[in-house]
Amino acid sequence: MEFVWDSEHRAFLDEHVWAILATGRRDGSPQQSMVGYAVDDEGCLLVSVKSYTAKWKNACRQPVVSLAVPDGRSHLVIYGQAETISTEPLRSVLTAQVFAALSGAPPPEPSTIVEMLDDQQRTVLRVTPEKAIFHT
């Protein structure tokens, strides 16, 4: 069954850009990172990460992840499957969307950021939501 965003949840996501990404370490313990995100046209969350980080390695090994989007004591928790994207042209297109969401500026041309992405070893996690719970 395809996930459909509740309008309140989607509005909350669109009002924020920072989340806490939780992935599973090899030993089963959680690893958390503060990340910026964007939401694509299909309702997936896009996170730009560096390929040498624990969050990338963990998601490659075990793609079940969660993100918590906080706003004071209220927060939206999203559970889903992470797809790892490290090749062009999709990597630069999705990264441009994340950069635009974080800066509030129009997305840069993907072709103009490829070299920077290579230098920084940037990749993308595209999280397909399976469940979302709002806590207040």
Q: What is the CATH number of the domain that holds 58?
A: 2.30.110.10
Tell me the per-residue pLDDT of 24-82, one tens digit each, with 9 for 90 and over: 999 999 999 999 999 999 999 999 999 999 999 999 999 999 999 999 999 999 999 99
Tell me the per-residue pLDDT of 107-117, one tens digit each, with 9 for 90 and over: 888 888 999 99
The C-alpha atoms of residue 24 and residue 31 are separated, in whole angstroms, by: 6
Note if the pTM is more than 0.85: yes
Q: Report the pLDDT value the prediction gives residue 45, as an integer from 0 to 100.
A: 98
Tell me the per-residue pLDDT of 70-121, one tens digit each, with 9 for 90 and over: 999 999 999 999 999 999 999 999 999 999 999 999 888 888 899 999 999 9
Exposure string of 58-74, with b = 16+ CB inside 10 Å and e = fewer, is bbeeebebbbebeeeee
Residue 2 belongs to a domain: no
Which 3 state secondary structure label does DSSP give 134?
Answer: strand
Residue 54 belongs to a domain: yes
Full domain range(s) for residue 17: 7-135
Give the count of domains, the chain: 1
Residue 118 belongs to a domain: yes
Q: Report the pLDDT value the prediction gives residue 19, as an integer from 0 to 100.
A: 98
Residue 1 belongs to a domain: no
